[in-house]
Structure 1
Amino acid sequence: MHDFQFFGGGWMMFIWWFLLIALVIVLLRPLFKTNQQESESETPLEILKRRYANGEIDQEEFEKRKKDLM
Structure 2
Amino acid sequence: MTTPNPSAPDALARLPEVSRIVQRSPRQIRRDVAACLFPAPLKIGARAIAWRRSDIAAWIASRPAARING
Give TM-score scaled by structure 1 length. Answer: 0.25
The structure carrying a bigger helix percent of its residues is 1
Give the greater-gyration-radius structure (CA).
1
Greater relative contact order (Cα 8 A, min sep 6): structure 1 or 2?
2
